[in-house]
Amino acid sequence: MDPTGTVEYEPVSVKQVLAEMKDTAELLIDLSYSAVLLGSDDVAAEVLELEEKMDVLQLRARMSLLMACRSTADAESLAPVLGMVGAAEKISDAAGDIAKIVLEDIGLPDTMRAALPEAVETLVRATISSESALAGETLGGLNLETETGVRALAIRRQGNWLLNPERETRLEAGDVVLFRGPEDGIAEVYQDATGEVYEPPEPPEGGVRDLERAVDSIVLMKDMGELAVDLAYGAVLFDSTEVAEEVVELEAEVDALQSRFEAWTLRAAADIDDPVSLRGLVHLARSTEVISDAALEMSEGVLRGLSTHPVVTEAVQESDEVIVRTTVYPDSDLAGTTIGDAEVKTATGMRIIAIRRGAGESERTGREGGDWVVSPGPETQIQTGDVLIAKGTRTGGDRLTDLTKSA
């Protein structure tokens, strides 16, 4: 992209562009909600920077797809991928709208942060100073996550983004780093990075109970929308109807949550002095629904039996990462244990990103079922009939599937 903003075609692989769009979309969702939940103008500003990056990626993806289309068969198999690009644009715009709630002071209740679940970690933007001890060091050498619980989500360096930085990534003076972790760890890392003392925002006192419920539902909608996007990309890239069907379930859950959110917000409006301050929450709920709807759009081609274009399939086959959906059978080694006790990550290399309770039983019996557990932790129990959604290597996926079968 030149200084005037013109975007020109570059011969890059579709898989490379789609992978970058996926990482950018996931980070956009995470940062936009963090900006609102933590009341951070700095993080909101980074969302708008990322939104511009996504605009360029979308154009390049469309150019690459047009170059790859040579026949009617190509057009049919490229349709799901083109749908994924269009849906990513909606996600990007929705994330930008969420960030503008903070930047334009659209209106959020003072009790917003007080109503947050304790599990929400602090996210901060830090610029590495020239005198920082972190400058010149790799993330692996610093061992921040082990020492402080803080991880680097992304780095902006001279206008370019490094998403999902690895252990070998070296920090440089002037880097803008997005750190996430517990508040005490953030305070330590922020001071080491910038030379300044971290000042956390003062949480207000708790407020109206209905408002707290509304905020809690927003956080859950965010987690489900983020998971839906993750699974939607997996459904298209790995041509999985089963994963696409889980996106349908998640989108329905978000719709139900939004209905409850609207009821709690309307009730809360009668109990607070300034109902207009709830306007930002309404904007937030609307953008959240857009994100989950976009995830469903991504999956639509797979659900309609349109296979992914060979240029994408071949590129995916070169990658070792997969998304696995597997049911926990009776008498399996996992049934009745927790994720931590079963040491799933160590034993299989797979990370369980969600569990749908009783979904496996409902599939076998025809009865409805399936409450979601999003972002399960080590203490989360695995039950017979659970459907586990996990990410990792192909061989790890096979090992996890074996563990879920009857012993």
Q: What is the pLDDT of residues 149-208, one digit of tens each?
A: 888 988 999 888 888 788 899 999 999 998 988 888 999 999 999 999 998 766 555 455
Give the number of other Cβ atoms within 10 Å of residue 67's Cβ: 12
Same domain for 223 and 98, yes or no, is yes
Which among 285, 301, 296, 290 is positioned nearest to 228, based on CA atoms? 296
Same domain for 289 and 341, yes or no, is no
- Length of the chain (residues): 407
Helix (H, G, I), strand (E, B) or coil at 133: coil
Domain of residue 332, CATH code? 3.30.70.1450
Same domain for 65 and 183, yes or no, is no
Same domain for 96 and 213, yes or no, is yes
Same domain for 324 and 307, yes or no, is no
For residues 185 and 193, give the distance between their C-alpha atoms in angstroms, rounded to a whole number: 12
What is the model's pLDDT at position 340?
87
81-90, 125-134, 164-173, 228-237 — which is least confidently predicted? 228-237
Which among 390, 298, 301 is positioned nearest to 339, based on CA atoms? 390
Radius of gyration of the chain (CA): 22
Measured CA to CA in angstroms, residue 407 lies from 340, 393, 399 at distances of 20, 23, 13
Residue 177 placed within a domain? yes
Q: What is the domain extent for residue 139? A: 122-194
Same domain for 99 and 243, yes or no, is yes
Same domain for 267 and 298, yes or no, is yes
Residue 136 placed within a domain? yes
Same domain for 91 and 240, yes or no, is yes
Written as one letter, the residue type at 155 is I
pTM over 0.75: no
Alpha-carbon dihedral angle through residues 166, 167, 169, 175, given to the nearest 10 degrees: 90
Residue 2 placed within a domain? no
Q: What is the pLDDT of residues 347-402, one digit of tens each?
A: 888 888 888 887 654 444 443 445 788 778 888 999 999 989 888 777 888 889 99
Same domain for 215 and 186, yes or no, is no
For residues 396 and 390, give the distance between their C-alpha atoms in angstroms, rounded to a whole number: 10
Tally the domains of the chain.
3
Which among 229, 7, 218 is positioned nearest to 112, based on CA atoms? 218
Q: What is the pLDDT of residues 4-62, one digit of tens each?
A: 456 555 656 677 777 788 888 888 888 888 888 777 888 889 899 889 889 988 888 88
Residue 306 placed within a domain? yes
Helix (H, G, I), strand (E, B) or coil at 358: coil
For residues 156 and 40, give the distance between their C-alpha atoms in angstroms, rounded to a whole number: 17
What is the model's pLDDT at position 225?
83
